Structure formats: structure tokens, C-alpha cells
Structure 1
Amino acid sequence: MNLNRADLADFVYFLTIARHLSFSRAATELGVSSSALSHAIKGLETRLSVRLLHRTSRSVTLTAAGEQLLQAISGPFGAIAEAIELLNQHRNSPAGRIRLNVINDAVPLLLGPVLPIFAERYPKVEVDIVSTNRMIDIVEGGFDAGIRYGGTVPEDMIAQRLSPDIRWVVAGAPTYLARHGIPQHPLDLHHHRCVRIRLGNDRIYRWELEKGSELLTVDVPGTMTIDDTRLALALLTGGAGLVYAPEPVLAPLLAAGTARLVLEDWASPGPGFHLYYSSRRQLPTGLRLLLDLVRELAPLGT
């Protein structure tokens, strides 16, 4: 069989589907429709005269021939991608696409101040960001890198710090504090309405409060449990209860007087934001440039 450009493009489609075992997720990564992807794979199977994928309404699996093809071409295509990336380092105007999986808090605090300047400097670099607090396998998801708090980065990943440590504090609306009083000790939280936090692994977070060498973890009471800081801020300003959040997130509310810190001497320092990526993948030029710019601008300080 003589290869043509359509075959090469369809092999890339096949590799992406094989990694996700999903037409919809592969289509999202590739920037095409699921129907176009399905049509391309059917065309490839017709030209090869062999079925590569088992498709049902609920699942996608590789046939034996598909497994063999995956093993045969994944290495060469990976080498081609690395070679192109090496050449990109020599371009006067870097180009390409980077995909990031980013924890929600990092979007306004870290990337919001940086990305407009990045777009001006590198107009040919496309940045695709998925913002979520869910724990995502970035390799399986087709991401070049992720951004999370340092303590939550998987151990098998290379991590690079993007910000200093961040203080986690407790705050409430003046109206709430006037009605329910101000806690003087972490154990007083048991007598308050608190907005509970659901972590990316579905575990309910126990608030960590630290004073000198003393560290307390408090399973706070509350009828509301959230997994997004933006919702926590809305509940705070509405007087629904006390919240536990990164101090930089609360800064605008504190400056405006719509929120007040409590238990300030029990604020707990936590690891700052880190960029992380697989040790088995070369860092794309666009991602390296973004990393450099975050460090240059240092929106959260150094």
C-alpha cells in the first residue's frame, strides 16, 4: 500500500482515538467533529481492508489489527512530533497548540493576568484550556500539562513551581458575623455555618488551621458543599456562612469590605500553583514560553 496525505492524517486520528477510546474526546482534542472523525476512520479501514476499531453506542475498543497498528506506528509518529517540536524552537515566531488542564483557582489568579500578554507576544501559539477541579489524568486526556496546587500533583510527574506558597484563610460577610459572632478558636467553627469543600477526588476536605507548631484539622459543619471557589464567594457575600479559601481569591472582597477575615492567626500556608507534565513527553515550545512568562510577570509574587 502506498501512503498518501489522507492516510497520514487518518493515522493521527486513529492514534488519538486509541488513546482516548472515545470518538467525542478525540474529536475535541483534534478540533474536528465526531462525524468527520468517524468518516475518516471508516475510509482508512476501507483502504486497509481491515477493521481497526469495535464501535458500539457505549464503547470503543481496538481490534487485534488495531492493537498491532497502534504498536507499530505510535513510536514513529511520536518521533515525528518531537522532531517538529525541535524545529519549532528555531522559528522566529513560535507556533503550534498547547492544551492545559487547569484547576479553577489558577485561571483568574495566575493565567488571567498572563494570557493577554502571551497572546500579544506569540500570536501564532494557540492555547486550549480546560478548567476543572476534578483530578484528571493529563496524559490520557491528551493534555500537554496541568496546573494544580503543589500538594496535589501526581508523584510520577515533573513539577515546576509557578507561584509562592498561598495562605488559606477563613472569612465571612460582615452581616453573617454580626448575626452569629466571630470565632476565636478553630473549634468554635463547630458552632457556625460553614461552606464545605469537595475535593477533586470527591473527598470532603477538612479545614487545616495552623498557629506556630500547632496544626488542627476541623471537619466543619454545614448544609452546603461546593467544589468551586467562585460559588463559595457568592455564598460568602450572601451571608450563607464562613468559607475557607486562598487569600488572593478573597483579596477583592476584603478590600471592598464585603468580607472579613476571622481566625487570622490560624491562617494555613499551602503549596502554590505548579505546572506539571509527563517525564516521557518533551515540553512543547509554546508551553515553555508560557512558563517563562508566568515567572517573568509573577502575578502572585515570587
Structure 2
Amino acid sequence: MQISKNDLGDFSYFIAIARHRSFRKASLEIGVTPSALSHAMTALETRRDVRLLNRTTRSVTLTAAGEDLLAAIEGPMQAIGEASQSLDRLRNNPAGRIRINVLGDAVPLLLVPVIPTFIERYPEIELDISVDNRLLDITAKGYDAGIRYGGTVPEDMVARSLSDDIPWVAAAAPDYLDRFGRPSHPADLKHHRCIAIRLGNDQIYKWEFERAGEEVAIETPRPMIVDESSAGIGLARAGAGITYGAEPVLREYVRRGELELVLEDWASMGEGFHAYYTSRRQVPTALRLLIDLIRELKPLRAG
């Protein structure tokens, strides 16, 4: 029996469903509705007169025939995808769409300086950018990649460095420091109003400091907790307390005199930004071009 065009399309849907064991998650990856996937699988099973999926309201599993089909087509379909990507790389005008999930800090530091050049070079590429500080399963949510600080990238992902290591510092409004004093040692923060940081995994971050080989992690007093930098900066500028963050994020406010660095000689170095994506999929050409451009322009170093 010959392979029809419908079969080829439905095979790609079937592989996504088999990978996620979920119509909803597969639909997020592919960009079609769960209902459309369900109809496609029903049509495939009807054309081939064989049941491939066991479906309940809570789960999707493969039948024995489904397992056999997956084993037979997964490799060849991946090869077809890789061949398509190779052709895209040879085009004079790369095209396509990439969905990326990014940490809030990455927007002003990495994307804003780079995206104008990117869209000038590659006008046919569409960028779909979602800003979220929570730790998400980017594969399950249908993203091609994520951008986070290196230390928070999931271990099962492929990571590409986008910047050098970044110093982390504390800062407060001059008026606040005039009222409450300037800490000279991280332990002094116990007597200050600190704007605590909630991480993407809901843990409260201990502020890290280091000097001359001495490392200190402070669980700060927290009359306030925020989960993204702009909120902490806004509160600090208003004199509510001391904030903590990546030095490039705070740099402009310090330059304007709205914030003042404290414990500057205790700055702690942390891993820079990384792009990350699953190792199970070919890297889309558009994503590779974006990563390469960020590494070429080095926006943090330029700042």
C-alpha cells in the first residue's frame, strides 16, 4: 500500500502524541487544536484499519500496533525534519516561526538590543516571545527554547551560553540608606528592610555574597517578596528597602542616582544567560540564527 500525503502529515501528529502521551501537549507543540489531532488520528486509523491509540479521558497510550508504527517511522521522520532544516539553512531568506519562553531580565538585557537587528536581517522569521519567570516545561508547553540564567536551566536540556558570567549586587535608594544606614557586611542586612526574591520554583532566594574567598548566603528579613526584577527595583527606588539582582539590570538606575550599590565589594558572580532546548529535536534554523546573533552582538558586554 502506498503512503499518501495524508499519512505523512498524520504520522508527524502521531509521533508528537506518542512523545507526550497527551493530545493537549502535542497540540501545543504542533500548533493545532486537540480536536484536530483527534480527528486526524481517527482518520489515520480508519484508512489503515488498525487501532494505534488507546484513549481515555485521563490518558493516551499506544497499542501494540502503535508501538510498532512509532518504532518504524520515528527515525525516518526525524531525518526528514533534519533535511528540511538543512534546506532552510541554504535559503537566502530564512523563514519560519519560533516560540521562546524568556526570563524577565532577558528582555531588556538580551532581546531589546538584539531584536531590531534580527528582524532587519531576517524579516521572514516570526518571533513569538513569552515572558515568564516561572520554571516551565518548555517542551510540554510547545516552546522551541527558553532563556534563563545558567544555574536555573533544567539538567535534561541542551544549553548554549549567551553571555559572560554576571555580578549580583544589592542596591537601595540613597534616601533609604541615609535613614537606615549603609551595611558594611552582609550580616548587617538582618537589620534592614530587604525585598526578598521568589524564584520560579517558589523558593525564596538566599542572597549570595563573596569577597576574598569568603562566601555568604543570607536569608534576608522580608517584609516584601517579589517574583520579578522590575517590581523589586520599583520598590527600592521608592525607598521601601534594599533589593538584590543582576548588576546589568540595576546599572541604569545606579547611573541616574536613583539607586546606590551597597556591599559592592561583596558582589557575587553568577552564571550568565543561556538558551536551552530539548536534545530530542532538531534545532530550528530561526532559533539557531537568534542564538548566533546574540553571541555575535554580545549586548551585555556592550552595556
The TM-score with structure 1 as length reference comes to 0.87
Q: Give me the whole-angstrom Cα distance separating, in 2, the residues matched to 1:295 and 1:63.
A: 45
Q: Give me the whole-angstrom Cα distance separating, in 1, the residues matched to 2:47 and 2:218.
A: 62
The structure-2 alpha-carbon separation of the partners of 1:19 and 1:227, relative to structure 1 and needing over 3 Å to count, comes to: farther
The structure-2 alpha-carbon separation of the partners of 1:66 and 1:296, relative to structure 1 and needing over 3 Å to count, comes to: same
Instruction: Specify every segment of 5 or more residues in structure 1 that has no aligned partner in the other structure, as ranges.
Output: none
- SS of corresponding position for 1:112: helix
- For 1:232, the equivalent position in structure 2 comes to 232
- SS of corresponding position for 2:276: strand
How much does 1:226 deviate? Answer: 2.9
How much does 1:81 deviate? Answer: 0.2
- For 1:166, the equivalent position in structure 2 comes to 166
- SS of corresponding position for 2:301: coil
* Residue identity matched to 1:265: D
How much does 1:59 deviate? Answer: 3.7
- SS of corresponding position for 1:300: helix
Q: Bigger CA drift: 254-263 or 104-113? A: 254-263
> Is the Cα–Cα contact under 8 Å of residues 163 and 272 in structure 2 kept in the other structure?
yes
> Is the Cα–Cα contact under 8 Å of residues 166 and 246 in structure 1 kept in the other structure?
yes
Written as runs of structure 1 = structure 2, the 5 A alignment for 1:263-302 is 263-279=263-279, 281-301=281-301
* Residue identity matched to 2:88: N
> Is the Cα–Cα contact under 8 Å of residues 20 and 141 in structure 1 kept in the other structure?
no
> Percent identity among equivalent residues?
60
Q: Give me the whole-angstrom Cα distance separating, in 2, the residues matched to 1:37 and 1:156.
A: 28
- For 2:195, the equivalent position in structure 1 comes to 195
Deviations 1:167-194 (A, max 9, x none): 1111123343344332221101111222
The structure-2 alpha-carbon separation of the partners of 1:219 and 1:11, relative to structure 1 and needing over 3 Å to count, comes to: same
The structure-2 alpha-carbon separation of the partners of 1:130 and 1:62, relative to structure 1 and needing over 3 Å to count, comes to: farther
Written as runs of structure 1 = structure 2, the 5 A alignment for 1:206-217 is 206-217=206-217
How much does 1:149 deviate? Answer: 1.7
The structure-2 alpha-carbon separation of the partners of 1:31 and 1:266, relative to structure 1 and needing over 3 Å to count, comes to: same
- For 1:97, the equivalent position in structure 2 comes to 97
Q: Give me the whole-angstrom Cα distance separating, in 1, the residues matched to 2:59 and 2:175.
A: 52
- SS of corresponding position for 1:254: helix
Deviations 1:238-269 (A, max 9, x none): 43322111111112322333322211111112
- SS of corresponding position for 2:113: coil
Deviations 1:204-242 (A, max 9, x none): 221101122221111111133333223222332343322
The structure-2 alpha-carbon separation of the partners of 1:31 and 1:155, relative to structure 1 and needing over 3 Å to count, comes to: closer
Q: Give me the whole-angstrom Cα distance separating, in 2, the residues matched to 1:140 and 1:64.
A: 25
Written as runs of structure 1 = structure 2, the 5 A alignment for 1:228-267 is 228-267=228-267
Q: Give me the whole-angstrom Cα distance separating, in 2, the residues matched to 1:173 and 1:59.
A: 53
The number of residue pairs the alignment matches comes to 302
- SS of corresponding position for 1:164: coil
* Residue identity matched to 1:97: R
Q: Give me the whole-angstrom Cα distance separating, in 1, the residues matched to 2:250 and 2:220.
A: 20
* Residue identity matched to 1:190: K
- For 1:23, the equivalent position in structure 2 comes to 23
Written as runs of structure 1 = structure 2, the 5 A alignment for 1:24-43 is 24-43=24-43
The structure-2 alpha-carbon separation of the partners of 1:218 and 1:9, relative to structure 1 and needing over 3 Å to count, comes to: same
How much does 1:102 deviate? Answer: 2.5
How much does 1:45 deviate? Answer: 2.9
